[in-house]
Structure 1
Amino acid sequence: MIEIGRVLKTFIGFLRRPDLYPELCRKIIKNTVSRGNAFKGKDKTNSWAAGRCISQEDAVSKLFGLEIKAFRNEYQVVLDEAAQKEKNCPVKMGGAGALEIIYYACEFTHAQNVVETGVAYGWSSLASLLSLTKRGGTLYSSDMPYLALDGDQYVGCVVPENLKSNWKLFRFADRESLPKIFTENAVFDVLHYDSDKSYDGRMWAYDELYAHLKKGGVFISDDIGDNSAYQDFCDKKNIETTVVEYEGKYIGIFIK
């Protein structure tokens, strides 16, 4: 009954937002005609990822030549304050994830421009901004409105006010947000994907993001074990990727 009410509330939310009609059409297709593609190749990719995964600490050392412990030592107060803001938030939107990978990807590239898909509480946004603000850089974020959860007011709630001047947030689906972002800035130092989990959604976004990643830039994708999109994309592009196991899930990361 709760799930039916949530679906109905989401649908009504879409109807009230004509600018989101394209995404509504895509969701209807994804949950009917293309429903079988959501977990396409999942077993294949989980087996592949399990056979090659390393820890976050090893990945930061291998890819960036940096020591992972410095992040927590330097920003523990900020992270503790962010954790308290998440705890106080009445809406559940997902956990923090592998923050060190994102932060050190920005440090390694001396990032000026970063794009991410998926914001929720804003943990990944916080990790990027802690690095970007040192250089006056900008984070461009795409995040679909939370139509059923009344969560819009809490999106990015863990990000401190003093970091928000370096942040541009686009509240549309990726297929609408990313073209707007690329109009503002065409080349990025770091890309972090954590939004549409479907196979088709990932394959579309990976191609778009990769085309705007500079040579030597870092590509990060969360939850690659949901289906084989990330593995298939890397195979298609002949990319040698690193896979990180973090809290029972897999993250894909490579330097272009």
Structure 2
Amino acid sequence: MQSVLRTLFGYLARPQLYPELIRKIYKNIFDRGSAVQGKKESEIWCAERAISQQDAIYRITENEYSLYKDFPEQMKKSKKIEIECPVKMGGPGALDLIYALCEYTQAKNVIETGVAYGWSSLAALLSLQKREGKLYSSDMPYLDRNNDKFVGCVVPERLKKYWNLFRQADKESLPKIFKEQRTFEIAHYDSDKSYKGRMWAYPLLWERIEKNGFFISDDIGDNSAFMDWVNQNNLQTVIVEFEGKYIGVVKKL
């Protein structure tokens, strides 16, 4: 109950988030099953196709990339910041994969949804800095944890000049991002995990990806949105198993 109240007061203190508050209320009353729609089928589908992160990187790029080998000191410093952070958020995902695809495409413009500590942001920025590129991020704060000032905390100050962070829900942030940058080499989705949320965002982001660019979605075993989306659009995908979860990668041909 305390968490619910903290979240409610968090929304009320931020008028720019009122549209998302209305959507949350509707979802919790009328659409609670959307988060796990088709979960069992999706988990089976993912498990049948999944390969390791490093195998996926080599299959796609025919090369090897390691963020931890290229930037060991930075990764060590960022891990220390995460451990010492008083607010707990989502941990690192398949960071080598994000870094590898940015390097492989020589990306200059990357978009992501969902930031938390900023691990995926860091992976992209360590590549983008080499080309004076730009990362555009959409992030909805954890309002029950009052984490605003800690969002992106693992990203060092020197990289923030390559980063535009939009602090609203995707439905408000993405149109603003698209006004600043129309196309991207890489899109990474890790925000609204509901079926409907994904099915709204996937085609929107896909439309903005340049030819030979990549779309990445985390936690695709949570429901069948990713599976349905790639099957409906006859897209070829690489499925990555990482720490018990599944990530989907699609190249735009």
Give the deviation of 1:32 after TM superposition: 1.4
- The Cα of 1:72 is off from its aligned counterpart by 1.9
Of the candidates 158, 174, 186, which is equivalent to residue 190 of structure 1? 186
What's the secondary structure of 2:130's corresponding residue? coil
AA of the residue aligned to 1:164: K
State the secondary structure of the residue aligned to 1:197: coil
Distance 1:121 1:163 in 2: 15
| Residue equivalent to 1:30 | 27
For 2:52, which of 51, 55, 60 is the aligned residue?
55
* Identity of matched residues, %: 57
1:118 and 2:105 equivalent? no
Q: How much does 1:94 deviate?
A: 1.1
Contact 2:118 2:154 in 1 (8 A): yes
In 2: Cα distance, 1:106 partner to 1:36 partner: 35
1:82 aligns with 2:78: yes
SS at match of 2:36: coil
Q: Distance in 2 between the 1:53 and 1:153 partners?
A: 36
Q: Distance in 2 between matches of 1:28 and 1:120?
A: 23
Tell me the CA shift for residue 236 of structure 1: 1.4
> Residues of 2 paired with 1:145 and 1:86: CA distance?
16
| Distance in 2 (alpha carbons) for counterparts of 1:124 and 1:38 | 22
Deviation beyond 4 Å, 4+ runs, structure 1? none
Structure 1 position 38, deviation (Å): 1.4
Taking the aligned partners of 1:149 and 1:71, their CA distance within structure 2 comes to 29
Counterpart check, 1:181 vs 2:197: no
Query: Paired residue for 2:150, among 150, 154, 158?
Result: 154
The size of the alignment, in residue pairs, is 252
Amino acid at match of 2:177: I
Contact 2:67 2:123 in 1 (8 A): no
How far did 1:207 drift? 1.2
Q: Structure 2 CA distance, aligned partners of 1:141 and 1:17?
A: 19
Cα offset for 1:145? Answer: 2.2
Q: Is 1:238 matched with 2:234?
A: yes
Q: Secondary structure at the match of 1:226?
A: coil
SS in 2 for 1:220: strand
Measured on the aligned residues, the alpha-carbon RMSD in Å equals: 0.8
Deviations 1:175-199 (A, max 9, x none): 0000000010000000000011100
- Which amino acid in the other structure matches residue 157 of structure 2? E
CA shift, 1:57, in A, is 0.4
Q: Distance in 2 between matches of 1:65 and 1:32?
A: 48
> In structure 2, which of residues 16, 21, 32 is the aligned counterpart of residue 19 of structure 1?
16
Q: Secondary structure at the match of 1:189?
A: strand
Letter of the structure 2 residue corresponding to residue 60 of structure 1 = I
Partner SS state of residue 133, structure 1: helix
Return the alpha-carbon distance in structure 2 between the equivalents of residues 45 and 146 of structure 1.
27
- CA shift for structure 1 position 71: 2.8
Q: C-alpha separation between the residues in 2 aligned to 1:147 and 1:36?
A: 22
For residues 10 and 100 of structure 2, what CA distance do their matches in structure 1 show? 38
**Cα distance in structure 1, aligned partners of 2:119 and 2:12:** 30
Runs of 5+ unmatched residues, structure 2:
none
